[in-house]
């Protein structure tokens, strides 16, 4: 079945007394998940694409993904709909590009202009057999104006709130965060979509109060990495203000511990119980123990939970290599696969092996194991201690050359300029470093905003702070 318009789909839904789901999509996984679920339920479906999604994922890619879904689910009717098209040009591009339904949202314009733009879209769409939805802009009754909106937070929920505020008619939508964008916990995709939709970002500030149409914030600076490797915000004593009529708090979720305490389950200072609670044969796992998490983390936890519960309740012997602590993994470094169970390959969600062979075989100790704030280990290559003997390349089980491929610490500009194949950094005056990364050479201020990815910045800071003897 080819893509359809919503006209016949809506008529059947009206006669049958049921609703039709409309879902915004922006990548392959979302398209797959939604269409396969609809196929299993034999339910008609509307796949919506926003302005931000078109900017993020590319119009052509999105259309081809939906066409693939139609081919895989031929028995369900599917509409491809433009969600909140901002102007005639966008609507026309979607009509010409294979969409079967478009929405023109000119509600920000004066009503007469809104009607004029909508009429133009309708005429063009109907000439091409495409259905049109329009945004009136004003409903009868009391209207609530959001004005200038400030969203406090940096996670996926904050991104959704900031984008939704713009769609709801906010004059501006500003995301206020106490760190910089690269330390926001939101998915990179969500961040890109928010930027594409026109969300503003006010970084390195902490809200203090909102009054008289202003949000007062204290300016922050980045300190040393915390236990998770993110640089901690440090107050500066300086303040700034932005226009703000509405504040939306999106600073995260927490576990509701009342259920546990009401049933005699002990919790820690953060209100979270242990996996194996103080009550016999009572276990807690998933979001209830760790707070909001990803599906992948949930899947990884599930195997651990199942093994622990089965082993406790039914006294089933669990293999020694079913789950290793970090210390156990380090003790077995170089053993790339557990000897009994074998590796699960591409579906592995928990790596309990550690290599570090390049550090062990280097006669000059030019490859150093760096322990990051969150406990992970990374290899640092020290340029001045390496004579390029090639030992690390010979013994590397991954067919790599650590003296070339590992992030490198340089102590001279000459060494930095000569080793053009090595990514790495050269400490400069103060808290500045010269960095070579992804084919680019640039200077980065570790006390200010810079181009460094968060994990690279944390790595450099850890080296400078905890491994200063290498300098």
Q: Catalytic positions, please?
A: 83
21, 46 contact by CB (below 8 A): yes
CA distance 216 to 90: 37
What's the gap between Cα 167 and its chain centre? 22
Angle at 412 between CA 406 and CA 418, to 5 degrees: 65
Phi then psi for 266, rounded to 5 degrees?
-75, 145
Q: How far is CA 95 from CA 13, 76, 162, in A?
A: 24, 22, 28
How far is the first Cα of the chain from the last one, in angstroms, to the nearest whole number?
66
22, 50 contact by CB (below 8 A): no
Q: How far is CA 280 from CA 290, 313, 366, 445, in A?
A: 21, 10, 51, 53
What is the per-residue DSSP string for 231-245?
A: EEEEEEEEEEEEE-S
Q: What are the residue ranges of helices labelled H in 181-336?
A: 188-196, 258-262, 287-290, 295-313, 326-331
Q: At what angle do helices 28-41 and 59-72 cross, to 10 degrees?
A: 30
At 178, is the secondary structure helix, strand, or coil?
coil
At 148, is the secondary structure helix, strand, or coil?
strand
Place of tokens 């059947």: 12
286, 298 contact by CB (below 8 A): yes
Phi then psi for 89, rounded to 5 degrees?
-60, -40
CA distance 461 to 412: 18
CA distance 151 to 125: 37
């Amino acid at each position: 079945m080819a893509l359809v318009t919503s006209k016949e789909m809506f008529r059947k839904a009206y006669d049958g007394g049921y609703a039709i789901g409309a879902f915004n999509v922006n990548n392959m996984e979302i398209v797959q998940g939604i269409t396969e679920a609809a196929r299993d339920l034999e339910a008609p479906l509307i796949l919506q694409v926003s302005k931000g999604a078109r900017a993020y994922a590319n119009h052509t890619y999105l259309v081809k993904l939906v066409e693939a879904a139609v081919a895989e689910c031929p028995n369900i009717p599917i509409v491809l709909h433009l969600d909140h098209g901002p102007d005639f040009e966008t609507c026309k591009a979607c009509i010409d590009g294979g969409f079967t339904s478009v929405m023109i949202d000119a509600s920000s314009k004066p009503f007469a202009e809104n009607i004029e733009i909508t009429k133009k879209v309708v005429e063009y769409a109907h000439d091409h057999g495409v259905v049109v939805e329009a945004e009136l802009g004003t409903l009868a009754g009391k209207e609530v104006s959001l004005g200038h909106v400030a969203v406090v937070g940096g996670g996926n929920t904050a991104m959704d709130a900031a984008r939704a505020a713009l769609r709801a008619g906010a004059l501006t939508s500003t995301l206020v965060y106490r760190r910089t964008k690269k330390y926001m916990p939101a998915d990179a995709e969500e961040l890109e979509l928010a930027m594409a939709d026109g969300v503003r970002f006010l970084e390195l500030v902490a809200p203090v109060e909102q009054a008289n149409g202003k949000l007062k914030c204290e300016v922050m600076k980045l300190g040393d990495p915390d236990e998770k490797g993110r640089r901690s915000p440090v107050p500066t004593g300086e303040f700034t203000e932005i226009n703000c009529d509405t504040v939306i708090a999106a600073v995260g979720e927490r576990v509701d511990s009342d259920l546990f305490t009401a049933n005699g389950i002990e919790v820690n200072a953060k209100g979270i119980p242990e996996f194996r609670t103080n009550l016999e044969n009572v276990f807690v796992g998933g979001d209830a123990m760790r707070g909001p998490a990803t599906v992948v983390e949930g899947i990884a936890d599930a195997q651990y939970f199942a093994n622990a519960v089965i082993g406790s309740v039914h006294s089933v012997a669990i293999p020694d290599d079913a789950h290793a602590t970090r210390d156990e993994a380090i003790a077995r470094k170089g053993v790339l696969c557990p000897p009994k169970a074998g590796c699960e390959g591409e579906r592995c969600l928990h790596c309990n092996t550690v290599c570090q062979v390049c550090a062990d075989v280097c006669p000059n100790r030019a490859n150093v194991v760096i322990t990051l704030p969150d406990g992970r280990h990374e290899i640092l290559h020290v340029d001045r201690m390496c004579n390029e003997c090639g030992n690390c390349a010979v013994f590397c089980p991954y067919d790599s050359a650590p003296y070339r491929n590992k992030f490198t610490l340089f102590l001279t500009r000459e060494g930095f300029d000569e080793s053009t194949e090595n990514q790495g950094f050269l400490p400069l005056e103060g808290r500045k470093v010269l960095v070579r990364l992804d084919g680019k050479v640039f200077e980065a201020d570790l006390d200010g905003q810079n181009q460094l990815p968060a994990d690279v910045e944390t790595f450099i800071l850890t080296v400078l702070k905890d491994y200063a003897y290498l300098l």
